[in-house]
Structure 1
Amino acid sequence: MPGFKRKHLSVLALLGALALQPVWAADLKIALSADVSSLDPHYLNIAPNVAFSSHIFDALVNVDANGKLVPGLATSWRAVDATTWEFKLRHDVKFHDGSKFTAEDVVFSLDRPAKLTNSPGPYTAYTKQIIAKKIVDPYTVRLSTATPYGPLALDVSAIFIVSKKAAEKATTEDFNSGKALIGTGPYTFVSFKRGDRIEVARNDQYWGGKSDWDKVSFRIITNSAPRLAALLSGDVDAIEGVPTADLSKLKGNGKFKLEQKISWRTIFWEIDQSEKSPRYVTDKAGKPLPKNPLRDIRVRQAISKAINRQALVERTMEGLAVPASNIVAPGLLGYNAALKVEAYDPEGAKKLLAEAGYPNGFALTLHGPNDRYINDAQVVQTVAQFLNRIGIQTKVETLPLSVYFSKARAGEFSVALLGWGTLAGDFGLRTLVGTSNPDIGWGTWNWGKYSNPELDKLIAASLGSVDQAKREGYAKEAAAVAMKDYAVVPLHHQYATWAMRKGLKYTARTDEFTFAHQFHPE
């Protein structure tokens, strides 16, 4: 029976070929580089929290891997006029509890950030400009602003839509416990062990299509060495924030692969420019100075000139960054290519200090996190060495992110390291150096209390432009004013790097976010 034998052998050959294919577990394990401090999607606006919330919730507008706006829970949006935007919502979207998503949930979610008055990092910068919300029908919402406002779609991309039914009487702790953690996103909540791990399960009814993974475990491993060790040992399938010293080792190991992209995140110094004498700026004997030297533009410029950015990115960052001259990264709206990276000029820095009345310098403490950005503690140490060379006697204090941010936002530090990612220059400038005004959501991360009416006018003009070309022009002009005034001192734009076991693929994202649903088997 030769025909039977041939058929039998072909089946065996097929089975043998299938046996050579990777056998994928239904679960995915990812190690995160920063702690997720809250599961309430409107409580604390920091990247680790935002990235995780994207697994449980959706926004009206989403952002793709290149930083471009794409439909989310809204299928389309348009400017009805200069002060009114209309959003058309998806039909037949359900929350994890089976209830229908409607315009009522959108209005409730846009109102909620303002009600969280104890938020240490509010989302109100994205909602303050909305003065009226109108439900046209269950799947159409119109949002009105007091004045013309072009980037409203980008604003609402930062606001996650929660279930009004589940969240109306919920507290932040109800979200952290999972009780109120009801979204429309690709995963449902399973468990949260603070500082250790978060577990989620696939939402089979997700409007955007099923994830490849039945379950996902996010391991929180803020220390680089254990995070890499977890990947090498097979305890996790992928990691973010790959240690720079180990990149070459991973590149040469056929069991793993890397994905990289210049991110939206700029690392820079926030500088206290308030009138009070800063706590961490003294004479070299440790006595308070009669006035704040950091208010003098010559002193801020001297600090900038003292920093060798090329050496910083090549040695301290080990090539995982490019020197920065802007607050926003190249390719994003408002990036001003005419601004050049500050030249390393220690002698010029010394002359500026002398002109400002500090020929012998003064004493300063630099503060930064030690578990948030790539090589952040080493960056602070390196800059301290540069400043010591121009006569600024510099000490260093780095802290865990959970402690650092609360102190920095309270204004406790004089010169503090911050990394900020934004998809538009006017957004970043409004938040970081716009004159602080809680009523309109400006300056929510303006740690240095910087204020410049000319800059505020340019930012407002940019944000108020429905015409994209005009908006771009105002944003670039505003960037030039901020950098000329040394409102902050930029250092570098960092690369984002993911490492994963062979057989996985991931599209590197400008926003540095790690999304489990965007990992796929090859």
Structure 2
Amino acid sequence: MSTYRKKMLSTLLAASASVMLVIAGPAPVQAADLKIALAADVSSLDPHFVNIAPNIALSQHMFDALVHVDPNGQLIPGLAASWKAVNPTTWEFKLRPDVKFHDGSELTAEDVAYSLDRPASLTNSPGPFTSYTKQIVGKEIVDAQTIRLKTATPYGPLPLDVSSIFIVSKKAAQQAGTEDFNRGKAAIGTGPFKFGSYRRGDRIELLRNDAYWGTKPAWDKVTFRIIASDTPRLTALLAGEVDAIESVPTVDIGKVRANPKFRIEQKVSWRTIFWHLDQSRDKSPFVFDKSGKPLEKNPLKDVRVRQAISKAINRQVLVEQTMEGLAVPASNVVSPGIFGHAESVKVEAYDVAGAKKLLAEAGYPEGFALTLHGPNNRYVNDDQIVQTTAQFLSRIGIQAKVETMPLSSYFGKARGGEFSMALLGWGSLAGDFSLRSLLGTPDPDSGWGTWNWGKYSNPKVDQSVRSALSSVDAQKREAAAREGAVTALKDYAVIPLHHQYATWAVRKGVKYIARTDEFTFAHQFVPE
């Protein structure tokens, strides 16, 4: 065949193929890789080094815990196929058979025991996981697939505690340091993805684990890009540089939702936004009369004043305008559907007249002056939330000033008791856990009240929480947790505002199962 005829034939074949493509439409793209933009840096790949949400979410890709949490916040089997309370101080966990680590070695109860011990050995941790393991006073390896964990006293939440401890390979981790995990040498887990590469502040690359014991991920490779700023993160999605982003800016959700190339995935978060109020000191540092003179008596110690503040806040307006519809009004410190949520406690009705009456009864008919403190870079629209609350309080005679600051400064000052009224967001999968940390009488030895900024103390609440934590019967435990919540909320121990939405934006052709815990899991993204 002549060269000319070969060229003509080649041209005709190409033209024919083009016609077929026009008729059939574009060829389907096999989406083997997934690119996700994260809103916060992952500071370490060591799953036991620092207990912060971005690290925990990333660890879940390479490692597994005995117990997993489903998108609705319910406990489900993980590496443990089942668990039970053998007696009030002993929990037995049965491991799945034939689970392999990424290096091909078999998971055994020895690896579990080692992983539960390891957090306590990381004495340089800036945020240890030991709060989840300190209740365990003994471990009994019954056989390669069975381990029993013993507690000093009856302790019901142990399955929830161990859902936060990832299981590592004893062989790979025993002589390893945190940097060995960051380099991938020790990052040997049983999770759905294997280590690829890690560049802190830039990106993490993971590869599918084809030997995973559970449902295999849809993606051969996942790249997580760290894009902390809202605008660049959204720009990366719109430009097609990533397939999905977390923490979508509220002002842009409508624009993304209207774009046919993308979809919004949402779920009510486990995070409750609320106000702590100083209830321990006779004189509070940021409470004044209206001339600016410090008040000799702290009005926030009076339950009538706390109730008046609650009644002054129009939560529906706060949700619809300040939060742009991306929240639901709150009555509890845990979200609806979370273990221990007290459904009998309703959202406080907006009542300016009632609030003024309560202030007058408490001895403040003309109100007083108060400074509100909050972060300006931690929660969705946090600065605006503080401003809006101040506006509401002004309507009942409380002259409210606003001071917000970056989280790096705010948390230390708030935990040090420097404020009179401080904004906090809290996410938890159990009401008794939340009450212990947020409203339990502060006790450094037991760890109670570590986030009780207002120093609230009520023996009835403490007793209900102790009863809940010591029960291995789920129904009795939840009933006690709800009892404690009702007591604290009727006492206006804190002022709940709203439960914020967790929001993701993804390109069309990809779906995500939105999670109440706000975590972004690549293995739960699926092609349509």
Correspondence for 2:527: 521
Alpha-carbon distance, 1:446 to partner: 2.5
1:42-81 map, 5 Å: 42-81=48-87
The residue that corresponds to 2:381 in the other structure is 375
Which of 238, 247, 259 is 1:253 aligned to?
259
Give 1:443 deviation, angstroms: 2.7
Stretches (4+) displaced over 6 A: 10-19
Aligned: 1:426 with 2:422: no
Percentage of matched positions with identical amino acids: 71
Change (3 A) 1:56 1:411: farther
Q: Which residue of 2 aligns with 1:435?
A: 441
The Cα shift of 1:402 comes to 4.4
Which secondary structure state, in structure 2, belongs to the residue aligned with residue 447 of structure 1? coil
- Using a 3 Å threshold, how does the CA distance of structure 1 residues 122 and 259 change in structure 2: closer, same or farther? same
Once the two structures are superposed, the pairs formed by residues 10-21 of structure 1 within 5 Å of their partners are 20-21=26-27
Change in CA separation of 1:38 and 1:363 when aligned onto 2, cut-off 3 Å: farther
Residues 283-322 of structure 1: pairs in structure 2 closer than 5 A: 283-284=289-290, 288-322=294-328
Unpaired runs of 5+ residues, structure 2, are: 1-15
Query: Are 1:474 and 2:477 matched, yes or no?
Result: no
CA distance in 1, matches of 2:63, 2:496: 33
Give, as a single letter, the amino acid of the residue that structure 1 aligns with 2:205. Answer: E
| Aligned-partner residue type, residue 424 of structure 1 | A
Please tell me whether Structure 1 or Structure 2 has the larger radius of gyration of its CA atoms.
2
**Contact map agreement 1:40 1:172 (CA 8 A) in 2:** yes
Name the structure 2 match of 1:5.
none
Q: 1:12 to 1:154 in 2, by over 3 A?
A: same
Give the aligned residue type for 1:224: D
TM (normalized to structure 2)?
0.88
Q: CA deviation at 1:133?
A: 1.5
Please identify, of 292-301 and 63-72, the stretch whose mean Cα deviation from structure 2 is larger.
292-301
Residues 293 and 299, structure 1, Cα contact 8 Å, conserved in 2? yes
Return the offset for 1:88: 0.9
The answer to whether 1:89 aligns with 2:95 is yes
- Alignment equivalent of 2:152, drawn from 140, 146, 150: 146
Question: Are the structure 2 counterparts of residues 394 and 22 from structure 1 closer, same or farther at C-alpha, using a change threshold of 3 Å?
Answer: farther
Superposed, 1:454-469 pairs within 5 Å as 454-469=460-475
The alignment covers a number of residue pairs equal to 513
Deviation at 1:333, TM superposition (A): 2.2
1:462 and 1:471 in contact (8 A); partners too: yes
Residue 401 of structure 2 is matched in structure 1 by 395
Structure 1 residue runs of 5 or longer lacking an equivalent are: 1-9
Q: Given that residues 129 and 440 in structure 1 are in contact (C-alpha distance below 8 angstroms), is that contact kept between their aligned partners in structure 2?
A: no
Question: Residue 254 of structure 2 aligns to a residue in which SS?
Answer: helix
Q: Work out the CA distance in 1 between the residues paired with 2:348 and 2:276.
A: 16
Separation of aligned partners in 1, 2:205 and 2:404: 30
In structure 1, distance between residues paired with 2:316 and 2:175: 52
Q: Secondary structure at the match of 1:239?
A: strand
The answer on whether the counterparts of 1:74 and 1:90 sit within 8 Å (CA) in structure 2 is yes
Q: Distance in 2 between matches of 1:217 and 1:140?
A: 36
- Evaluate the alpha carbon distance shift between residue 321 and residue 178 of structure 1 in structure 2; reply closer, same or farther with a 3 A threshold: same
Q: Do 2:31 and 2:527's aligned partners in 1 also have CA atoms closer than 8 Å?
A: no
Per-residue displacement from partner, 1:92-112 (whole Å, max 9, x unpaired)?
333334444322222232233
Counterparts of 1:373 and 1:67 in 2: how far apart (Å)?
Answer: 20
Aligned mates of 1:286, 1:82 — CA distance in 2: 56
Structure 1 138/155 Cα, relative in aligned 2: closer, same or farther at 3 Å? same
Matched residue, 2:211:
205
Shift of the alpha carbon at 1:430?
1.8
Cα RMSD (Å) of the superposition?
2.9
| Higher mean displacement: 374-383 or 201-210 | 201-210
Give CA deviations for 1:116-166 in whole Å, capped at 9, x if unaligned.
Answer: 556554433322322222111222110112232223212211222233344
The 8 Å contact of residues 390 and 402 in structure 2, kept in 1 or not, is answered as: yes
